[in-house]
Every structure is written in C-alpha cells, then in structure tokens.
Amino acid sequence: MKAAVLHQLGRNPVYEDFDAPVPNSENEVLINVKAFSLKNLDKGKAAGKHYTSYPSLPVVVGIDGAGILEDGTKTYAWGKTGMLAEQALVENGKWAIIPDRLDFETAAALPNALVGSDAALLYRAGFQPGQTVLINGATGFTGKVAIQMAKLRGAAKVIVTGRNQAILEELKALGADEVISLSQEDSAIIKQIQESHAQTPIDIVLDYVWGHPVELILDAFKSLPPRRLKIVTIGNMAGANISLQSALLRSTQIEFLGSGIGSIPFADIHNYMEQELPKVFELAAKGKIKIDLEMTELKDVETVWSQTEKPGSRIVIKI
C-alpha cells in the first residue's frame, strides 16, 4: 500500500510503499482511509517532540483519520497503526459513525479541533447554557470551531479576540457577538474587556494564546468586583509564560485550568467521542458548522508536511 513513512525523527515522512497492516485479533479492524487532517500533534510526534513516541522506525505516521470499514461503514477513528496510509488498523467498535451527507475531509478535520474547544468547554470549564464565553485568540482553526460550538451549546454571548483584523470580521458570521482586536494599545483592550463584562458578565475564557494577552485579561478583572471566572488555557502561541501575582488570585475569584490530552480524563474523552462527536457530525452534515480546509493528496506529503496552513484553515490530505 502507499503511505507516509517516517524513517528518522525530525525528518519529513515520505510517500512510498509500505506493508499493509493485517488484523491479528478480533479486536482489530481494517479501515480504508480516505482523509487525514494534518495537525501539530502529528508533526510533533514525528519530530520527536511529543511525550508519546514511536516504538521503532520506519513507521507510518498519523494519529487519526476518516475512512470506510470493510463492511462499507463510514467512520472516524484513532489508528492502532498509522492513519496516513491507504489502510490502517483501528480498534473494533472504537469509532464514530460519519453521516452519509458528511464528507470524509470535514469528518477528519473536526475532531481534533473539537477536543480543543467543545470538550474543553464541557469537561474543563463546566459550561452551562446562558453563560458568556470569551475566546482569546479565536482566529485560528480551533478558535473558529470554538465560537460555533459555544453558540450551538447555548452561550448567551461569545466575545472573541485576535490580531488578524480580516478574520476577526469574518468571525461575526460564525456567531461572535463582539470582537476585540489585540492590535490595539493595551489600555484600549483592557477597557473594551471591562465594558463588555459590564454589559454581560464573562463566565469562561477559552485561551489559545497565553502570554501577554492573558495578562491583559487579568489586568481587566483585577479592578472589577469579584466574580467567578474560569480561564481554560489550551495553547500558548503568544508565549509560554505570564506574570502572575499571588495577590491577584487571593483578591479575585479567578480559576486557572488547562485543557489537553493529559488534563481531560480518558473517560471524558471516550464519552465525547462516543456520545458527543456523532451529534456534532450531524450538525456539520446539516451545514451548521463551517470550517475552512486546504486539500492536498498523499503523494505530496513530504512537501505538505512543512507547509504553513493559511490562517484559520486546516490542511487535509485526501487518500
């Protein structure tokens, strides 16, 4: 079979022939892969920079994907073998059914973004309908999904921040009620957050950037009357560290949480994939979730692996 094969950590995988996987137990099922979403997780693992590692090389890369089982069922699944290949092995029954009306490419791209947005909202932030959500750094692919899921889950108001002014304006069509440009002076950003909070108190911050933008949010809240606020950090594009004074936490009701593979219990991830993901797939099939994809083919994997995706989009490899 054709596959994206990694020969050395830190090098790009190459398009070549590789032995097709063979199920060796009733717990393994063969899937014909049709689409794969290229993510930082996949790149990090291939670079040897992720806490999970490959037991040996060469190996087919790719964590998850969408395809067809031998009985014709359309599914999304995590692979027991590399998913960036014509065929892979998946665990029997451990998949989400893809509706007939939903294309493989969308089904491959949505789940990772949902874990970094919808699952964070549900399992880490404890979101309740009627709450107000601030999405900090919302112009990326996952941030765009977060806006739509917050609205679909019943958020009373969604406020977004970002630097790309053109994309910020586009976010209104996805459900953002208010946009705050991070390109303004710090004082203007703080004032706008405070004014927005005065109109509709903010309950949850989903943060994709960390660094100085989070410090501005903290500055905005330190002079306001104490009110419970959960800040869930998911990424650190603006910096890995912040300056945080002990007195701030003692004088406010701000809670910090993280959301990632290590912080969301496996039982919650399993529940999300089994119970929630099929529902989201149905919403996408009905056109209620919009995403931007850049399509390419498996044969171009070596070049595409190093390619920078367009702001707010996701690269999907068709197989």
List, for residues 212-221, the tens digit of each pLDDT value. Answer: 999 999 999 9
- Residues of the chain above pLDDT 70, percent: 100
The reply to whether 174 and 241 lie within a common domain is yes
Asked whether residue 300 is domain-assigned, the answer is yes
**Total number of domains in the chain:** 2
Instruction: Write the CATH number for 201.
Output: 3.90.180.10
The reply to whether 17 and 58 lie within a common domain is yes
What pLDDT, in 10s, does the model give residues 186-213?
Answer: 999 999 999 999 999 999 999 999 999 9
Q: What is the span of the domain harbouring residue 124? A: 117-258
Q: Which two tokens stand for residue 122?
A: 């549900």
User: Is residue 262 predicted with pLDDT exceeding 90?
Assistant: no
Q: For residue 53, what pLDDT is reported?
A: 79
Asked whether residue 99 is domain-assigned, the answer is yes
Say which amino acid occupies 187: S
The reply to whether 208 and 292 lie within a common domain is no
The reply to whether 125 and 20 lie within a common domain is no
The reply to whether 92 and 124 lie within a common domain is no
**Alpha carbon distance 272, 294 (integer Å):** 26
Q: What is the pTM of this model?
A: 0.94
Residue ending a domain, choose from 258, 273, 303: 258
Asked whether residue 223 is domain-assigned, the answer is yes
Cβ neighbors of 299 (< 8 A, separation 6 or more) are 2, 15
User: Is residue 72 predicted with pLDDT exceeding 80?
Assistant: yes
What pLDDT, in 10s, does the model give residues 151-185?
Answer: 999 999 999 999 999 999 999 999 999 999 999 99
Cβ neighbors of 262 (< 8 A, separation 6 or more) are none
The reply to whether 176 and 76 lie within a common domain is no
Q: Which two tokens stand for residue 201?
A: 């108190």
The reply to whether 88 and 137 lie within a common domain is no
Say which amino acid occupies 241: N
